[in-house]
Amino acid sequence: MMKELNLAEIRERIDKIDSEIAKLFEERMNAVHEVAEYKKTKQLPVRDKAREEIVLNNCKKRVQNSAYADGLRKIMAQIIDISCRQEEEYLQSEVSSKAAAQPHGAKIFVGYQGVPGAYSHLALHKYFAGANIEEHNYTLFEDVAQAVKEGEVTYGLLPIENSSTGGITEVYDLVRRYDCHIVGEICVKIEHNLLAYPGTSLDKVTEVYSHPQGFAQCRPFFKQYPKMMQIPYFNTAKGAELVSFKKTDYMAAVAGRQAAELYGLEILASNINANTYNYTRFFVIASEMQEIPNADKITLVVSLKHEPGSLYHMLGSFYHNGLNMLNIESRPIEGKPWEYFFHIDVSGNLHDANVKKAIAEVENSSTYCKVLGNYVGDKI
């Protein structure tokens, strides 16, 4: 006769198994920190796709019941992502610790564009987490670059690219024009909400304030509400600040949840951005180049002869030396019609032999070449 199942006993057995899984997970994370330390000393990138594929393919061999192989593969894929984030946070904390030891002593002076509650403000706190910082906020992106150049602040946070709307071209120009250097980057998830003064109803809103990028990332939402006039403003949090100050029943702002909490606003509609996988990448800039041992990303600006094939041959230098080009943006050169600066992100460390060779080739084939920074790339 078959023994009757006892749910309480089964759950007790599952709890014991979960405890063992938790212990093994903790052991794995401790090993991940050792891997991060090794990669730092050897200047290796965080992600190793070949190694990740081996781990995932081994899932079939590690279960006796093949029906569980797919589930194990999904779990291991998540563990790999968590492990990579752990490595990145560990390496990023190294950069932040380095920043904390700058000439200003215990306090770091950091500038950002906007007001408290802005995504730039969020990026600042994420990047310099745990450091003793003194914040300086500015009205314009250019004000931040100028403050860094003139030594008013040691570091500046500037948004450079959004995963939905692309590069923020003005910032590329400012980094070059003010001769700033990139010493780090941080990615922040963007979750836009429609905010209004408490008691406001959605059907009464006729004016909405936000940065143009915020509106661009929420186009489908506003197509549903054609009576809402989209009014460009300095940035998302500044729009929330205005709505909070005016206290009307017809004004709203597109901003993050942190702005709603800070300015006492109500969320009328949440997560209104079209792309739910919406991130903004921020540059951390300084007046001087910094040498970061575990740097794995390079940003440089190049201009070329105005002749056929010049861009093709320049990009070939990265390909033939095994460098992965991550991004390229063109900006017109003032006073020279149809000639451009190319801002390029590539993987690598300036001390690597293949990187040195590639950059030497680019310098030889260009009319202008400047490395803006070699820093630790932030992965999402």
The residues annotated as belonging to the active site are 280, 282
Whole-number Cα distances in Å, 124 to 169, 198, 225, 292: 21, 29, 34, 19
Q: What is the 3-state secondary structure (H, E, C) of the chain?
A: CCCCCCHHHHHHHHHHHHHHHHHHHHHHHHHHHHHHHHHHHHCCCCCCHHHHHHHHHCCHHHCCCHHHHHHHHHHHHHHHHHHHHHHHHHHHHHHHHHHHCCCCCCCEEEEEECCCCCHHHHHHHHHCCCCCEEEEEECCHHHHHHHHHCCCCCEEEEEEEECCCEECHHHHHHHHHCCCEEEEEEEEECCCEEEECCCCCHHHCCEEEECHHHHHCCHHHHHCCCCCEEEECCCHHHHHHHHHHHCCCCEEEEECHHHHHHHCCEEEECCCCCCCCCEEEEEEEECCCCCCCCCCEEEEEEECCCCCCHHHHHHHHHHHCCCCEEEEEEEECCCCCCCEEEEEEEECCCCCHHHHHHHHHHHHHCCEEEEEEEECCCCC
Q: Dihedral angle at the C-alpha atoms of 218, 219, 223, 225, nearest 10 degrees?
A: 30
